[in-house]
Amino acid sequence: MDGTSRIVLAIVGILALATPALAQSYPSRPVRIVVPFAVGGPADVYARFLGQKLLEDLKQPIVVDNRPGAGSIVGTAEAAKASPDGHTLLMMSNTHTTNESLVPAKPYKLMSDFVPVAPVNSSDLVMVVHPSVPATSLQEFIALAKAKPGMLNYASSGTGTPYHMAGELFKSMSGTDILHVPYKGSSGARNDVLSGQVMMMFDAITTMAGNVEANQVRALGTTGQSRSAVLPNVPTISEAGVPGYTATIWLGLMAPVGTPKAVVDQLNGAISRIVGSADVREAWQKQGAQPMVMTPVDFGKFLEGDIEKWARIVAISGAKPE
């Protein structure tokens, strides 16, 4: 064996030893989860929940850093610039996979500038209207919208978010013209629907179910393939008048590209144990959320498929960034 070969083997050996050592020393300081959405929405709520649970596993504080704006683009661009050492993570959703086709001119590309870490959960949405809206069923709302094209409106947490795309998909499939009113976060949108300043909204069942039960809003339909166990008396939109309609919101975590595989695997294992535990599964299902457990590789395949799915829906609906 010549000298060059011995050097190459030595380097390979050092790298092999360094990888587990890196995982053993991680994390060496607090871990930041960038949430590119406003406080109070599902991404924020579940990021804080995971932060509490990850503290037990990682033995370091988890700091939730809300950076809303431009339909998640502001915070996501911030996370993309972070050091790829596992100490900065991105809480993301299907807003991100939608934006790949809806907003192609972004300061990052999702699957090039980030690596998949782990999914968190998914939940159906519920379509609600303020009680002042003269429609007590989905069919009545569709008739009202067709009678007054462009005069009804719906709120969302921002362009490209699941709430926005659920509305655009509904408009496309129901043949209605309803004005989109984007907000910087779901809390602002929700508050204005509750106060009657905006007529309608698609919102996560996990956050809107209590308002439905308190009769602060009227639920016209849920967006899953079957009725929600949380709102069993509310029909699905598909059965209520728009056959085949489905829409969900899901959440996951990514890290800046270059984050070591050992760190990604460590995080995936910790998150999978949390969301896969019986107590978390039971608690989330009562809220209307379904835990998601995948390897980083499988989550990456899921993301690629979702990007393709939403590219088709963006094209069909004609949705544009605002």
| One-letter amino acid for residue 172 of the chain | S
**CATH number of the domain that residue 215 is part of:** 3.40.190.10
Across 14-18, 198-202, 313-317, least confident range:
14-18
Q: Both tokens of residue 257?
A: 């590209």
Number of structural domains (the chain) is: 2
| Other beta carbons less than 10 A from residue 107's beta carbon | 12
The domain boundary, picked from 209, 240, 271, lies at 240
Q: How does pLDDT run across 12-61, given as a tens digit for each residue? A: 454 445 444 445 689 999 999 999 999 988 999 999 999 999 999 999 99
**Least confident stretch, 58-67, 127-136, 183-192, 209-218:** 183-192
pLDDT band at 191 (very low <50, low <70, confident <90, very high): very high
Do 228 and 304 reside in the same domain of the chain? no
Kindly indicate the confidence band of residue 2, based on its pLDDT and cuts at 50, 70 and 90: low
Question: Does residue 17 fall inside a structural domain?
Answer: no
pLDDT band at 320; cut points 50, 70, 90: confident
- Domain containing 232 equals 124-240
Name the average pLDDT for the chain: 92
What's the sign of the alpha-carbon dihedral 112, 113, 117, 120? negative
Share of the chain above pLDDT 70, in %: 92
Judgement on whether residues 156 and 192 belong to the same structural domain of the protein? yes
pLDDT digits (tens, 9 = 90+) for 79-110: 999 999 999 999 999 999 999 999 999 999 99
Residue 14 falls within a domain, yes or no? no
Looking at residues 222-232, what average pLDDT do you find?
95
Q: Are 269 and 233 members of one domain?
A: no
Residues 111 and 51 in one domain: yes
What average pLDDT does range 115-136 have in this prediction? 97
Domain C-terminal end among 186, 213, 240 = 240
pLDDT higher than 90, residue 175: yes
Q: Are residues 132 and 236 in the same domain?
A: yes
Check pLDDT > 80 for residue 266. yes
- What is the model's pTM? 0.84
Q: Are residues 253 and 109 in the same domain?
A: yes
Q: What is the pLDDT of residues 283-312, one digit of tens each?
A: 999 999 999 999 999 999 999 999 998 998
- For the chain, the 3-state helix, strand and coil shares in percent, each to the nearest 5, are 50, 20, 30
* Stretch 218-233: mean pLDDT: 96
Q: Residue 1's pLDDT is what?
A: 54
Strand partners, 289: 123
Domain closes at, from 218, 240, 262? 240
Residue 138 confidence (pLDDT): 98
**pLDDT of res. 81:** 97
Beta strands at 248-256 and 88-93: parallel, antiparallel or unpaired = antiparallel
User: Tokens at residue 90, please?
Assistant: 């991105």
- Using only C-alpha atoms, the chain has a radius of gyration, in whole angstroms, of 22
Based on the fold, state whether residues 96 and 147 are members of the same structural domain.
no
DSSP character string of 141-209: HHHHHHHSTTT-EEEESSTTSHHHHHHHHHHHHHT---EEEE-SSHHHHHHHHHTTSS-EEEEEHHHHH
Q: Considering the domain boundaries, does residue 195 fall inside one?
A: yes
